[in-house]
């Protein structure tokens, strides 16, 4: 277990369950003591004295913590290893080459569905045939599952229901390849947009449809640099890295963004029927993959044409509840400690806007603000 | 009359103390469980229409 106090609460990471809980500080202390072998009786006696409550009430509380927090975490969840039998195709009808910095990726697909999951967001990186290949990705379907092989090593396979995990793993393998880091070298990947200004970055979070990507595109058009859209990798030095995918722009945002990006009007449109999404992709400008940035703040954003502009600091424990379920966080204890230390020092804001200029000005102020 | 008021105030303070302790105990046994994603993922395939 790892624990961190944040404001008036404590966050406890349960290692075997890879789960975080937000609790009162006393509850966290009891949890740690129970998991270290302290007896229920001893803890109860001390709690009774501290809170001046009846013994039975104190014991009830301690037993509840034992039952609901400590006991479920005793045993590591064993993932049932299942043998993946598959047959790799002899040929791949669809072949793409992508250049990211000076690194060349060859990616092969067997059908248009697989191609549609990956190519649109990387289309701006496509190059013609290349004899020099640094990494070789292969995507194919067997028994209704989509397989990913990288440099002849099977990564995993996914059913249609969880195909967004295939896309995520594909992106992660791209990131690992560009930066020459294994999965263990990363603190987490956040479902966010990220921008850079001078030497810092800000992560923009929020539910799908709240305006993360559109806000990112607006900020990029107004002097800020895009680091990543939808997939933000942060390494185990808490450094925010660039991700080369295009910025996904929904149809409703075209009118707002076309004045800044007239090329959007003629850009290819992708209709993801399964997800009921129609998107175009805007290439990020001037990404420098040699640079990564410390994070200045988290902004939970929401665009709504009917709402007044508001910018408010929010408590980190509330922000934590919004951040974690949508994030992959490394389950290596050292990385968890880093994540909690990193997060606890980050200012968090809720920003609601209908006026773009006010949003841009607010983000600028947050960048300029000294912690 | 004054004595009745004092007793009432004392009773009121005791009741507030009980409610305060009850609220504190409730808070101590309130746990918010958060599960991060098991692996990296792209945007979830929820139906959000055209959104913004």
DSSP assignment of B12-32, as one string? HHHHHHHHHHHHHHHHHT--E
**pLDDT at residue B15, as a whole number:** 58
Q: How far apart are CA A105 and CA A98, in angstroms?
A: 5
Residue A80 burial class via C-beta count within 10 angstroms: exposed 0-12, middle 13-18, buried 19 and up: exposed
Which is higher by pLDDT, A176 or B14?
Answer: A176
Q: Looking at beta carbons, which residues of chain A come within 8 Å of B30?
A: 23-24
- Rounded to an integer, the average pLDDT of A321-347 is 97
Closest residue of chain A to B46, computed from CA coordinates: A275
Find where tokens 């967004």 sit: A164
Closest residue of chain A to B40, computed from CA coordinates: A168
Is B34–A303 a contact, with Cβ atoms under 8 angstroms apart? no
- Residue A47 sits at φ, ψ, to 5 deg, of -70, -40
- Rounded to an integer, the average pLDDT of A127-154 is 94
Measure CB to CB from residue B31 to each of A69, A164, A231 and give the nearest one.
A69
- Rounded to an integer, the average pLDDT of A237-266 is 92
**pLDDT at residue A130, as a whole number:** 83
Q: Looking at beta carbons, which residues of chain B come within 8 Å of A171?
A: 40, 42
**pLDDT at residue A279, as a whole number:** 86
Which is higher by pLDDT, A370 or A188?
Answer: A188
Instruction: Assign A76 a pLDDT band (cuts: 50, 70, 90).
Output: confident
Edge-to-edge strand order for the sheet containing A247-250?
Answer: A247-250, A277-282, A270-272
Chain B closest CA to A330's CA: distance in Å? 9
Is A231–B52 a contact, with Cβ atoms under 8 angstroms apart? no
- Rounded to an integer, the average pLDDT of A29-36 is 96
User: Under a CB-based contact definition with an 8 Å cutoff, are residues A371 and A344 in contact?
Assistant: no
Res. A84: pLDDT tops 90: no
Is B21–A253 a contact, with Cβ atoms under 8 angstroms apart? no
**pLDDT at residue B47, as a whole number:** 39
In terms of Cα–Cα distance, which of A95, A97, A118, A119 is closest to A108?
A95
Is B47–A172 a contact, with Cβ atoms under 8 angstroms apart? no
Report how far Cα A152 is from the mean position of its chain's Cα atoms.
Answer: 27
Is B41–A191 a contact, with Cβ atoms under 8 angstroms apart? yes
Res. A307: pLDDT tops 50: yes
- Rounded to an integer, the average pLDDT of A217-226 is 95
Give the dihedral of Cα atoms A73, A235, A178, A198; nearest 10 deg. Answer: 150
Mutation site for B-interface testing, chosen from A191, A212, A216 by largest number of B Cβ within 10 Å: A191
Measure CB to CB from residue A209 to each of B34, B37, B48 and give the nearest one.
B48
Instruction: Assign B46 a pLDDT band (cuts: 50, 70, 90).
Output: very low
Is B40–A172 a contact, with Cβ atoms under 8 angstroms apart? yes
**A47-51, A82-86, A299-303, A325-329: the lowest-pLDDT one:** A82-86
Is A230–B43 a contact, with Cβ atoms under 8 angstroms apart? yes
Res. B13: pLDDT tops 70: no
DSSP codes, A12-30: EEETTTTEEEEEEHHHHHH
Measure CB to CB from residue B52 to each of A52, A211, A274 and give the nearest one.
A211
| Distant-in-sequence, close-in-space partners of A90: CB < 8 Å, separation ≥ 6 | none
Using DSSP's 3-state secondary structure scheme, residue A343 falls into helix
Is B51–A209 a contact, with Cβ atoms under 8 angstroms apart? yes
Chain B closest CA to A261's CA: distance in Å? 16
CA angle A10, A330, A114 (to 5 degrees): 135
Is B1 an interface residue toward A (CB < 8 Å)? no
Is B43 an interface residue toward A (CB < 8 Å)? yes
- Rounded to an integer, the average pLDDT of A108-130 is 94
**pLDDT at residue A80, as a whole number:** 59
Q: What percent of chain A has pLDDT over 70?
A: 96
Q: Looking at beta carbons, which residues of chain B come within 8 Å of A192?
A: none
β pairing state of A2-6 and A9-14: antiparallel
Instruction: Assign B16 a pLDDT band (cuts: 50, 70, 90).
Output: low
Q: How far apart are CA B8 and CA B28, in angstroms?
A: 30
Q: Looking at beta carbons, which residues of chain B come within 8 Å of A321?
A: 32, 34
What pairs with residue A5 in β-bridges? A10
Report how far Cα A241 is from the mean position of its chain's Cα atoms.
Answer: 12
Res. B50: pLDDT tops 50: no
In terms of Cα–Cα distance, which of A64, A35, A61, A39 is closest to A50?
A61
**pLDDT at residue B18, as a whole number:** 61
User: Under a CB-based contact definition with an 8 Å cutoff, are residues A34 and A62 in contact?
Assistant: yes
SS3 letters across A46-111: HHHHHHCCCHHHHHHHHHHHHHHHHHHHCCCCCCCCCCCCCCCCCCCCEEEEEEECCEEEEEEECC
């Amino acid at each position: 277990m790892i624990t961190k106090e944040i404001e008036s609460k404590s966050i406890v990471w349960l290692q075997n369950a890879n789960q975080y809980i937000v609790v009162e500080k006393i509850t966290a202390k009891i949890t740690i003591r129970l998991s270290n072998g302290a007896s229920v009786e001893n803890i109860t006696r001390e709690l009774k004295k501290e809170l001046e409550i009846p013994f039975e009430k104190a014991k009830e509380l301690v037993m509840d913590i034992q039952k609901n927090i400590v006991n479920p975490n005793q045993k590591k969840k064993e993932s049932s290893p299942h043998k993946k039998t598959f047959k790799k195709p002899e040929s791949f009808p669809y072949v793409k080459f992508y250049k990211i910095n000076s690194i060349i990726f060859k990616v092969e697909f067997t059908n248009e569905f697989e191609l549609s999951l990956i190519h649109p967001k990387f289309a701006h990186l496509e190059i013609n045939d290349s004899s020099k290949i640094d990494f070789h990705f292969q995507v194919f379907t067997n028994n209704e599952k989509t397989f990913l092989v990288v440099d002849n090593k099977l990564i995993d396979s996914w059913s249609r229901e969880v195909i967004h995990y295939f896309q995520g793993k594909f992106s992660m393998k791209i990131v690992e390849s560009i930066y020459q880091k294994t999965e263990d070298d990363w603190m987490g990947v956040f479902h966010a947009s990220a921008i850079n200004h001078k030497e810092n970055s800000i992560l923009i979070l929020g539910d799908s449809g709240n305006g993360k990507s559109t806000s990112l595109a607006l900020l990029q058009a107004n002097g800020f640099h895009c680091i990543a859209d939808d997939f933000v990798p942060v390494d185990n030095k808490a450094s925010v890295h660039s991700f080369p995918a295009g910025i996904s722009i929904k149809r409703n945002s075209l009118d707002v963004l076309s004045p800044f990006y007239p090329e959007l009007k003629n850009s290819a449109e992708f209709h993801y029927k399964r997800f009921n999404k129609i998107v175009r992709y805007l290439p990020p400008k001037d990404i420098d993959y040699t640079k990564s940035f410390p994070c200045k703040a988290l902004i939970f954003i929401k665009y709504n044409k009917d709402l007044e502009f508001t910018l408010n600091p929010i408590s980190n424990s509330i922000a934590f509840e919004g951040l974690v379920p949508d994030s992959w966080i490394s389950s290596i204890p050292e990385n968890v400690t880093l994540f909690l230390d990193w997060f606890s020092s980050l200012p968090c804001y809720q920003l609601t806007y209908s006026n773009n200029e006010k949003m841009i000005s607010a983000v600028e102020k947050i960048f300029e603000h000294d912690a | 009359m004054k004595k009745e008021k004092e007793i009432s105030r004392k009773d009121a303070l005791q009741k507030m103390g009980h409610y305060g302790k009850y609220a504190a105990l409730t808070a101590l046994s309130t746990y918010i469980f958060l599960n991060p994603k098991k692996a990296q993922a792209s945007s979830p395939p929820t139906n959000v229409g055209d959104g913004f």
